[in-house]
């Protein structure tokens, strides 16, 4: 085994288990599970989605970071960006003495302070090929926590580049995962990519595929979402579809189908076979959490609370999904957003990047749905329920039910 590159853990689970329990366990969440994901506290009934919170990839990344601290107690440890998009988990790692390398205004990382004796943890999102190569050149120890689902997308995108297909990625061009995925095309000299955020952007590209148009205008619009030297007049002749693993599955599939139809209208059915490839690369955990929250809506809810980092893509999409079904939805970062003194809730409205306050949001009696993104630990879900019970004046009843 390469003594400077690790991907399979250190076998130290037993050494970190008690600390993980202290940091992330919730008796409230366990009570909900034991009650069939339902807990009635006074006039309120909480319904928890059956798939929620930490997924396998996040569990693995967090475990691996904790193990790294145990494995290298006397080394300087760095983390490229955030391990996951949850402020509380990242704060725990800071408290363990792990130094965070943050992006500059251009989205790059400064590795100049790292030396060969240091240990650098790569996050669950992965890093770009350029950053990986720079770190390897330093000779430091790399602990790679990149999620397996992300690696599957990388393989797909790389195969497109190998076969001279442009990778069209449904995602956010500024997101760490999408940047890392897009960089995989650089394995091949003719590798290129285009990142599309939503159906509106996809339709602009589809119109160009079918009818041509002003390539310069597209170059300007997608300047930050294309590979260097991207040429809309030639680079859309053969395309392969992939996506950021945390996007809404239905949206990704719809974009893929829109592009397929445009290619068929331009080149005919035979042309689709040679010019279009697609593969649903939404990770299973993301899909399971989306399916579970939709199942929760089969029983009418008075309000839905989605817990997780405001910069967590999969959490934002869970909130968007519930909101789109007409349920009053509040995406909160943590329990502190529930203000017991004022009765208000601070939340991030769907499609925005700012926090607002809502008054009189909690029903006096009724059904409250709860779910959380794949980067949200159980204790943050449990703390949110506790805070809601405090606001409703039923903490005594909750304590009796959860011990």
Active site residues: 177
SS3 390: helix
Q: Answer yes or no: are the C-beta atoms of 308 and 331 closer than 8 Å.
A: yes
- Name residue, tokens 């290619």: 263
Which of 177, 195, 153 lies closest to 280, judged by CA? 153
Q: What's the order of all strands across the beta sheet hosting 193-196?
A: 193-196, 166-170, 239-243, 276-278
Q: Answer yes or no: are the C-beta atoms of 225 and 171 closer than 8 Å.
A: no
In this structure, the number of other CB atoms found within 10 A of the CB of residue 76 comes to: 16
Instruction: Kindly report the length of the chain.
Output: 403
Integer Cα distance of 281 and 274 in angstroms? 21
Residues 6+ away with beta carbon under 8 Å from 105: none
Query: Which pair of tokens denotes residue 293?
Result: 């929250």
367: Cα separation from own chain's centroid: 28
Which of 390, 307, 297, 393 lies closest to 347, judged by CA? 307
SS3 8: coil
Residues 6+ away with beta carbon under 8 Å from 44: 363, 365, 366, 368, 388, 389, 392, 394
Integer angstrom CA distances of residue 57 from 152, 375, 382, 394: 13, 9, 21, 36
Residues 6+ away with beta carbon under 8 Å from 215: 208, 231, 232, 233
Q: Is the dihedral of CA 373, 103, 145, 15 positive or negative?
A: negative
What stretch of H or E contains 54? none
């Amino acid at each position: 085994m390469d003594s400077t590159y690790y991907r399979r853990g250190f076998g130290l689970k037993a050494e970190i288990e008690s600390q993980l329990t202290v940091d992330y366990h919730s008796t409230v969440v366990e009570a909900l599970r034991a009650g069939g994901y339902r807990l009635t506290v006074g006039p309120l009934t909480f319904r928890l989605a059956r798939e929620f919170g930490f997924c396998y990839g996040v569990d693995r990344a967090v475990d691996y970071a904790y193990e790294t601290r145990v494995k290298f107690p006397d080394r300087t440890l760095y983390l490229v960006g955030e391990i996951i998009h949850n402020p509380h988990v990242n704060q725990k790692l800071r408290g363990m003495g792990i130094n965070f390398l943050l992006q500059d205004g251009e989205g790059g990382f400064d590795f100049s302070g790292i030396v060969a004796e240091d240990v650098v943890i790569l996050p669950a999102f992965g890093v770009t090929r350029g950053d990986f190569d720079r770190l390897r050149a330093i000779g430091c120890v790399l602990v790679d926590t990149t999620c397996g689902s992300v690696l599957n997308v990388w393989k797909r995108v790389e195969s497109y580049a190998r076969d001279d297909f442009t990778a069209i990625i449904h995602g956010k061009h500024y997101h760490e995962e999408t940047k890392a995925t897009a960089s995989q095309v650089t394995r091949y000299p003719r590798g290129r990519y285009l990142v599309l955020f939503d159906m509106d952007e996809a339709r602009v590209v589809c119109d160009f595929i079918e009818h041509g148009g002003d390539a310069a205008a597209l170059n300007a619009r997608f300047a930050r979402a294309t590979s260097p030297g991207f040429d809309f007049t030639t680079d859309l002749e053969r395309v392969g579809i992939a996506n950021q693993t945390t996007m809404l599955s239905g949206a990704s599939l719809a974009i893929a189908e829109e592009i397929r139809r445009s290619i068929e209208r331009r080149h005919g059915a035979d042309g689709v076979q040679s010019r279009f490839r697609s593969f649903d690369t939404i990770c299973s955990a993301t899909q399971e959490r989306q399916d579970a929250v939709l199942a929760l809506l089969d029983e009418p809810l008075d309000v839905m609370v989605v817990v997780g980092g405001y910069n967590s893509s999969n959490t934002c999409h869970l909130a968007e999904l519930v909101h789109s079904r007409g349920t009053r939805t509040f995406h909160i970062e943590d329990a502190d957003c529930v203000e017991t003194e004022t009765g208000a809730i601070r939340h991030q409205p769907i499609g925005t990047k700012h926090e607002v306050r809502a008054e009189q949001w909690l029903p006096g009696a009724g059904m409250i749905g709860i779910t959380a993104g794949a980067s949200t630990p159980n204790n943050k879900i449990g703390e949110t329920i506790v805070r809601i019970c405090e606001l409703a004046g039923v903490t005594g009843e909750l304590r009796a039910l959860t011990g």
